[in-house]
């Protein structure tokens, strides 16, 4: 381009003189800066200045300058083309950087989109190593498990890891730092491992390796690789949370079914046990049967009744949400009681009575049931124990203990906790 400008300048100088020729050397510098970059533009600027000096300033065909005006023209031309080439070169570099950032963002978005369609951790690992293999042109694997590292996926298919590679992967999983080939730590491994982490929690390690044994990544590739690992980490964390949510739903359904089954068993068996216990006591009072045998029947029936009560107490609740009844909040899971947001301190017996009533809110529990559950079978005739505990609970929980609305008395039967 400088040569073409020189030829055109010679034609113009032969007819109109050499003064306007100086402007012809600026376009070649601009073109070099736009299409070739900064350094070719600087070379074009120097070549343009020398060509103008050689062909268009006296003495001609030398690099000497006789007239001060020509010297000023050459210097100004050099400054103009240098500054212009620098500015245009910087613009081109920014354009290339913007294109590189756009390409990197497109790559990250593409990986995120493909990972979003994966439903399991195995699928995420398979897609991740395949994309890393395609992008960086090297073998890729994904390893999980800090205590016992295992290979989850590899690309190309059929990748195997040596014991030294598993040791490097385990170190990355435990410390979160890069290990393996090209890294100071565990340099004897064939693979280079990097942590896949969300915040401070390392969930997996990605390994890269080349067949020629060279480091798998260049310095300019690390920013893109780091962003891709972040996308893989987010996808693995999402899959883990989804799996835990599904397991929790399954567990709750199983607990709900278990609770319903235990409640059904209790409703079917307890009335019959109660009848057996009552009949044994009646026979014992009448003295018509063998007292020893009647005592055994009554004792064993009482034990069985207590076992069923304990089994029902161990059955999981349908949920762990606190029970709210007016101003009172009863949290059986955390064993806490609040009234108007203020913690209420209860004795162990008081809490045991309240908890038993809360488990059957809205239902009447007999004196015998509450005494047997809280104080034991030997104390189920001491109703005064229960009345003292109920009176204390009403003083602590009721707005007006003289007119209770939370713990209601059913005359000659027992007590009932108001339904939420």
Per-residue confidence band for 22, with pLDDT thresholds at 50, 70 and 90: low
**What's the pLDDT score for residue 29?**
66
Per-residue confidence band for 208, with pLDDT thresholds at 50, 70 and 90: very high
At 50-107, the pLDDT tens digits run: 776 677 666 767 766 666 666 666 666 667 667 777 776 677 777 767 666 666 667 7
β strands within 317-411, DSSP E: 323-325, 328-331, 336-339, 342-343, 364-366, 407-410
Question: Which of these ranges, 174-178, 179-183, 273-277, has the smallest mean pLDDT?
Answer: 273-277
The model's pTM: 0.48
- 8 A C-beta contact, residue 126 and residue 236: no
Residues 6+ apart with CB under 8 A from 141: 129, 151, 152, 153, 154, 155, 159, 161, 191, 206, 207
- 8 A C-beta contact, residue 208 and residue 161: no
Q: What is the CATH number of domain 246-314?
A: 1.10.287
> What average pLDDT does this structure show over 269-295?
77
**What's the pLDDT score for residue 343?**
92
Per-residue confidence band for 264, with pLDDT thresholds at 50, 70 and 90: confident
Residue 190 is given by DSSP the state: S
**The length of the chain, given as a count of residues:** 420
Q: Which pair of structure tokens corresponds to residue 226? A: 């780091």
Burial zone of 206 (CB within 10 Å; 0-12 exposed, 13-18 middle, 19+ buried): buried
Distance of CA 103 to the CA centre of its chain: 26
CATH topology of domain 323-417: Arc Repressor Mutant, subunit A (1.10.10)
Residues 6+ apart with CB under 8 A from 389: 347, 349, 350, 353, 374
- 8 A C-beta contact, residue 236 and residue 205: no
Report d(CA 307, CA 157) in Å as an integer: 57
- 8 A C-beta contact, residue 74 and residue 49: yes
Report d(CA 31, CA 44) in Å as an integer: 9
Say yes or no: domain 121-243 is CATH 3.40.50.300: no
At 62-76, the pLDDT tens digits run: 766 666 666 666 666
- Does residue 41 carry a pLDDT above 90? no
User: In the chain, where are the structural domains located?
Assistant: 2-106, 121-243, 246-314, 323-417
> What average pLDDT does this structure show over 172-191?
82
- 8 A C-beta contact, residue 74 and residue 65: yes
């Amino acid at each position: 381009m400088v040569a073409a400008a020189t030829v055109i300048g010679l034609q113009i100088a032969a007819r109109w003189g050499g003064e306007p020729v100086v402007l012809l050397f600026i376009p070649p510098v601009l073109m070099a800066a736009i299409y070739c970059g900064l350094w070719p533009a600087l070379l074009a600027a120097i070549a343009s200045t020398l060509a103008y000096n050689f062909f268009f300033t006296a003495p001609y065909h030398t690099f000497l300058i006789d007239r001060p005006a020509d010297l000023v023209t050459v210097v100004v031309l050099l400054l103009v083309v240098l500054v212009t080439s620098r500015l245009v070169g910087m613009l081109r570099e920014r354009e290339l950087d913007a294109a590189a950032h756009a390409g990197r963002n497109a790559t990250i978005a593409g990986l995120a989109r493909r990972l979003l369609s994966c439903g399991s951790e195995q699928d995420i690992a398979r897609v991740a190593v395949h994309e890393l293999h395609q992008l960086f042109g090297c073998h890729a694997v994904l390893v999980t498990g800090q205590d016992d590292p295992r290979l989850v996926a590899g690309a190309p298919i059929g990748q195997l890891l040596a014991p030294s590679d598993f040791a490097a992967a385990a170190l990355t999983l435990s410390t979160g730092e890069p290990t393996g080939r090209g890294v100071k730590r565990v340099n004897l491994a064939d693979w280079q491992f990097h942590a896949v982490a969300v915040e401070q929690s390392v969930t997996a390690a990605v390994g890269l390796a080349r067949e020629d044994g060279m480091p798998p990544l260049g310095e300019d590739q690390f920013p893109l690789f780091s962003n891709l690992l972040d996308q893989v980490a987010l996808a693995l964390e999402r899959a883990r949370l989804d799996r835990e949510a599904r397991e929790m739903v399954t567990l709750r359904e199983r607990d709900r079914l278990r609770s319903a089954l235990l409640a059904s068993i209790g409703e079917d068996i307890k009335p019959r046990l109660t009848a057996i216990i009552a009949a044994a006591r009646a026979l014992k009072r009448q003295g018509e049967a063998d007292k020893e045998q009647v005592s055994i029947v009554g004792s064993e029936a009482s034990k069985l009744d207590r076992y069923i009560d304990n089994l029902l107490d161990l059955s999981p609740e349908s949920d762990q949400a606190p029970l709210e009844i007016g101003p009172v909040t009863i949290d059986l899971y955390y064993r806490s009681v609040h009234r108007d947001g203020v913690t209420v301190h209860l004795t162990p017996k008081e809490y045991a009575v309240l908890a038993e009533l809360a488990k059957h809110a809205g239902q009447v529990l007999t004196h015998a049931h509450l005494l047997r559950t809280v104080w034991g079978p030997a104390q189920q005739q001491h109703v005064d124990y229960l009345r003292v505990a109920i009176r204390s609970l009403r003083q602590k929980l009721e707005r007006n203990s003289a007119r209770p609305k939370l713990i209601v008395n059913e005359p000659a039967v027992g007590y009932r906790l108001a339904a939420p």
